[in-house]
Structure 1
Amino acid sequence: LILHPSLLHLLLLPAVIFNNHFLLSLLSLDPVDVLRALQVPSLPEGVKKVPGFCTSRRSSSPDHAYRISKKAQISAPTKQLFSGRFPENFSIMALVKAQAGLQAFLLSIYSEQGIQQLGIEMGRSPVFLYEDQNGKPAPEDYPLFRGVNLADGKWHRIALSVSKKNVTLLLDCKKKMTRPLPRGNNAEIDTNGITVFGARLLDEEVFQGDIQQLLIASNPQAAYDFCEHYSPDCDSPLPKTQAQDPNTYVS
């Protein structure tokens, strides 16, 4: 999907401006807390706080999540998530409950020229969209996960591990599916464009549902550790790095 540069410029205008101290501390985090970077905890229009994955959790307060409605329009310059280079091998991890029957993108990263370089589709037989600086892989070669439904109205722990020329989906801490990712060597993602949550630009269908976590780590192993280190079962406390008080997010 290519967006006209003039439209891309308009989307960059309402970006949240952070003070330098907060921005620097945010950019040094690994994994990157995408919801925090996009200011979702400040509850912009179309977002409200709701109970999360665990309504009671051992040794800590219950989880909370963010309900995303059709009205929500959440985006920011990708530089607010990654100060330097986007990692070549990485993990994307989400704890999410998409509206049943949905077929929409949870996250999209666009280049400065408005080309979608990365996207995670929710729904039946979801696609992992990835396009490097040389346009590889071609759209017909995007990894497709047949027989999986990520939008059935239930909570799912979804982790994607991107390593070399493969992507592995780990679903609910057990199901593993690996697909080829025929990208080029030294593949790059441009960080001079924008990151859009819950949609692809110009798509009519947008993400609707609840989300508790959305993390991007600069190593492919993190996806395999998601359930243990970042999103444990309800009989374990949340890791300190995932403290959920939204007041700690606001600079």
Structure 2
Amino acid sequence: MNTRTFEVNLLNKLASYSQDSGNFSLSYDEANCSILEVGQYATLSIPSVEVFEEIFADELSLLLTLQYSLKEETSLLTIIGYRSDILFQIRISPYALIFVASRRRHYEFPVSSLADGKWHRVALSISLERLALYVDCQLVESIGWSSYFGMGVTLQGLLVVGGLIESFEIPFEGALGQLTFLMGDSGAASEHCQTHNITCGSPLDKEANHNTSLSWPAFPQTGTQVPDETNEIQESDTQMAKGLCCILC
């Protein structure tokens, strides 16, 4: 297993790429924090090796803040292998957040608040022992792996934000205020609203000024619920994935 700890601020990398891509826009809030607006038919792809450089760790935290209001399931973030297979994916719907990993591992967490058009913090923890999801500083669910052999993410493919990964889906449309991988640090997800909040401030602060009901309670310490796990998922639309690869070939 990989143990080196390092941070990948994906939002900064996406900001530089989005300048040459249509249907993306970069803005800043009053705290000078960048906000990436993603249009519904935007597809932003970066070679995985340019994002993660050397390795994709087997233990990690994924931290993000997002705002969207689609009523259909959509793909937010996908890492595609060189054979057009899905190695890592975050999908969201009005009812759930879905994590898809390599070897057809599929985990669905019931979350009903993400598509309400407000800003939300989401943190996914992947450790050798378990998988856990936090939303708005609350532990949603935690599950122990039945067997864990690592993420299995290679760096020969593409990282894709938005776009059509599956032929049947609706493209993502919304805004991102944080998108950070903390490689080798699975505990960072539980500290998202404390030590790992973005230092420039947050678009959530701007939302809070207009919505006094928005609050960030302390994290629970344990989780006992178990999300649905499906060993078989539908194959990705390989023609679309290959088409994305050709963009950068």
TM-score, reference length from structure 2 = 0.69
- CA separation of 1:129/1:186 partners in 2, compared to 1, >3 Å: closer, same or farther? closer
User: Cα distance, 1:34 vs. partner?
Assistant: 1.1
- More strand by percentage: 2
The code of the aligned residue for 2:181 comes to I
- Alignment of 1:31 onto 2:11: no
Structure 2 counterparts to residues 29-68 of structure 1, below 5 A: 30-38=6-14, 39-40=16-17, 42=19, 44-50=21-27, 52=29, 61=31, 63-68=33-38
Instruction: Report sequence identity in percent.
Output: 21
Runs of 4+ residues over 4 Å off in structure 1? 180-183
Q: Which amino acid aligns with 2:154?
A: D
SS at match of 2:21: coil
2:241 alignment counterpart: none
* 1:143-163 Cα shifts (integer Å, max 9, x gaps): 111243422211100000001
Please give the alpha-carbon distance, in whole angstroms, between the structure 2 residues aligned to 1:165 and 1:171.
Answer: 20
Greater shift, 155-164 or 63-72, is seen at 63-72
Residue identity matched to 2:48:
T
Q: Name the amino acid aligned to 1:33.
A: N
Query: Which structure 2 residues correspond to residues 174-213 of structure 1 after superposition, within 5 A?
Result: 174-182=138-146, 184-203=148-167, 204-213=169-178
Residue correspondence of structure 1 range 151-190 to structure 2 within 5 A: 151-182=115-146, 184-190=148-154
| Distance verdict in 2 for CA 1:181–1:119, change over 3 Å | farther
Q: Find the counterpart in structure 2 of residue 82 from structure 1.
A: 52
Asked if 1:215 corresponds to 2:180, the answer is yes
Query: How far has the Cα of 1:67 moved from its partner?
Result: 1.4
Secondary structure (helix, strand or coil) at the match of 1:37 reads helix
Contact 1:144/1:179 (<8 A) preserved: no
| Aligned with residue 197 of structure 2, among 231, 235, 251 | 231
**Correspondence for 1:245:** none
How many aligned residue pairs are there? 195
Q: Mark the runs of 5 or more structure 2 residues left unpaired by the alignment.
A: 203-249
Distance change (3 Å), C-alpha of 1:118 and 1:159: same
Q: Deviations over 1:163-190 (max 9, x none)?
A: 1242111111123311344454244211
Unpaired runs of 5+ in structure 1?
A: 1-27, 240-251
What is the CA distance between 1:32 and its match in structure 2? 0.4
More moved, 210-219 vs 200-209: 200-209
RMSD (Å) for aligned C-alpha atoms: 2.6
Change in Cα spacing, 1:186 to 1:126, as seen in structure 2 (3 Å) is closer
User: In structure 1, the residue corresponding to 2:25 is in which secondary structure?
Assistant: strand
Q: Under a length normalisation based on structure 1, what TM-score does the superposition of the two structures give?
A: 0.68
